[in-house]
Amino acid sequence: MTHRVCVDVEFGVRVTKPGLAAISVAAVHADADELAVSGAGSPRAAELDHGTRAEVFDLEAGEHRVTYHGERTLHRSAAEPVTLADLARYTRPSRYCPADRMPGLDLARHTDDRARVHAITDHVHERLDYVASAREGRDAAEVLRAGVGSCRDFAHACITLCRVAGIPARFTTVYAPGLVPMDFHAVFEAGVGGRWLVFDATRRASRRTMLRIATGRDAADTAFLTPLGCELDFLGATVFATADGALPPDDPGKPVVLG
């Protein structure tokens, strides 16, 4: 069954020092979309890894309103293969995923990487209490000690434990119809059997209707707003993501490919 997913985003910024800013809110492979910033000219596009799009605007001082609308019909797609470059990059420690200074889980009883990733996801789901927002700047080790976190914290914890186990894992921001409260959402992808599959330890939305926004080593690579010389204050955002028809149930044990 196909689903048509529609996304609408709006947020405000107050620029105190003019300059460039990169905005990454576009859904990957959108059938149609439009991004606009009030009081700014046309953006310059930067294509990043895995289809991530950064639109770079030159912002004058003052308040600006950013709006984005995107639509995409989801079809079953083939899983992206794990390349040698992926294997080298996504098994290394990164800013929020300190795999070099965290103990791993005892996964000896699990016979393959898919079973190991499910065990890691179950462990994080049971270990952490979900909050819609949590203190910024914590890495996976701090999150697991605290026992509470947002979606990005769940993803960072899973990614780190996968990397400790030698399984490549990467951080992905998505639009997630059915998420409550609605916001940008973070999940992770793991390299299982030579292909990338998506997992979500929060289990708060159906993976089958998620739209990819940005992909990287961790949240440091996937910010939706990045000052590039300007100085600004973020004034808050609203995010709406809807899918036509009933949302498909999500069985955590079944493999899902993120388009």
**What is the token pair recorded at 128?**
């952490």
Res. 252: pLDDT tops 80: yes
Q: What is the mean pLDDT of the chain?
A: 95
Q: What is the pLDDT of residue 77?
A: 81
Task: State the Rg of the chain over Cα.
Answer: 18
Which are the contacts of 106, defined by CB distance < 8 A and separation ≥ 6?
Answer: none
Res. 153: pLDDT tops 80: yes
| pLDDT tier for residue 55 given thresholds of 50, 70 and 90 | very high
Res. 76: pLDDT tops 90: no
| pLDDT tier for residue 136 given thresholds of 50, 70 and 90 | confident
Orientation angle between helical segments 113-127 and 151-164, nearest 10 degrees:
140
Among the listed residues 100, 126, 117, 110, the one whose alpha carbon sits nearest the alpha carbon of residue 162: 117
Mean local confidence (pLDDT), 25-32? 96
Res. 168: pLDDT tops 80: yes
> For the residues of 3-57, what is the DSSP string, one character each?
EEEEEEEEEEEEEEE-EEEEE--PPTT-SEEEEEETT----EEEE-GGG-EEEEE
Res. 72: pLDDT tops 90: yes
Q: How far is CA 163 from CA 50, 190, 199, 233, in A?
A: 19, 9, 15, 35
213 φψ region: left (φ > 0), alpha (ψ -120 to 50), beta (else): alpha
Res. 212: pLDDT tops 80: yes
Q: What is the pLDDT of residue 246?
A: 87
Domains and CATH numbers, the chain: 3-74+225-242 (2.60.40.2250), 84-216 (3.10.620.30)
**What is the token pair recorded at 247?**
């949302």
| pLDDT tier for residue 234 given thresholds of 50, 70 and 90 | very high
Res. 80: pLDDT tops 90: yes
Q: What is the pLDDT of residue 158?
A: 98
Q: What is the pLDDT of residue 137?
A: 83
Question: Could you give the 3-state DSSP secondary structure of residue 146?
Answer: helix
Res. 82: pLDDT tops 80: yes
Res. 156: pLDDT tops 80: yes
Res. 1: pLDDT tops 80: no
Mean local confidence (pLDDT), 189-211? 97
* Bridge partner residues of 172 (DSSP): 187, 215
Q: Considering only 34-38, 107-111, 214-218, which range has the smallest mean pLDDT? A: 107-111
